[in-house]
Structure 1
Amino acid sequence: MIITKRVSQWKVEMASVLESKVDEFKLMGYSRATGVDVWNCLTEKVWKGDPEKRLHEVVEDIFHLSSNKYMSYLTVQTYKDDTGLLESIAAITGSQKE
């Protein structure tokens, strides 16, 4: 029997696979890589949501995540976080964004 689940349902079983990918990124010099960031990157950039996949497909996606795609994801997230921070500061100070 072939079992498919939503990728979010595989997350617990993927802990060691994610940690392996994090270790790979750290060896490449990305010292702040985390399993949470890798998972979120896959969810947003590779899976684009929560599709149904087989176990081996999820493992393959994790191991095939490129450092370029991961860094692109982190860059966009940083920009989003900075934008949110600037909007929060503007709201608190009453100033408008230019």
Structure 2
Amino acid sequence: MDSRHVDTWKEMIYPALKSKQEELEMLGYEQATPEGVWKCLCVKIWNGEPEKRLHEIVQDIFHLKSSVYLSYLTIQSYENDDLAASIEALIGNSPDNG
């Protein structure tokens, strides 16, 4: 098979993403979703969205360690907290609230 942009393989490899999600759920990551696994791979493993072969993507999915997924979730949590704090600061300091 040829190399393609990873996004072009996403629909085809959904069963592998679902399998990884189920594995992560069994390990206690109940919030895991196939989309979350995909995003984790894009950020932590692929550093963006490179071109890869189908077997390479499936291999990356099945080799994704729970510690890498936890690291991804932790970073996302911090980023979401920062966003929430920024929004709260903006809303709290708006002229309408004074």
Counterpart position of 1:47? 46
TM-score (norm 1): 0.92
Alignment of 1:1-98 (within 5 A): 2-94=1-93
Unaligned runs of 5+ in 1: none
Secondary structure of the corresponding residue to residue 39 of structure 2:
helix
Report the CA distance between 1:82 and its aligned residue: 0.6
Secondary structure of the corresponding residue to residue 13 of structure 1:
coil
> In structure 2, what residue type is equivalent to 1:27?
M
TM-score (norm 2): 0.92
Mapped to 1, the partners of 2:91 and 2:26 lie a distance apart of 41
Structure 1 runs, 4 residues or longer, greater than 4 Å off: none
Give CA-to-partner distance per residue, 1:46-91, whole Å, 9 cap, x none: 0001111000000000000000000000010011001000000000
Unaligned runs of 5+ in 2: none
RMSD: 1.1
Matched residue count: 94
Mapped to 1, the partners of 2:86 and 2:79 lie a distance apart of 11
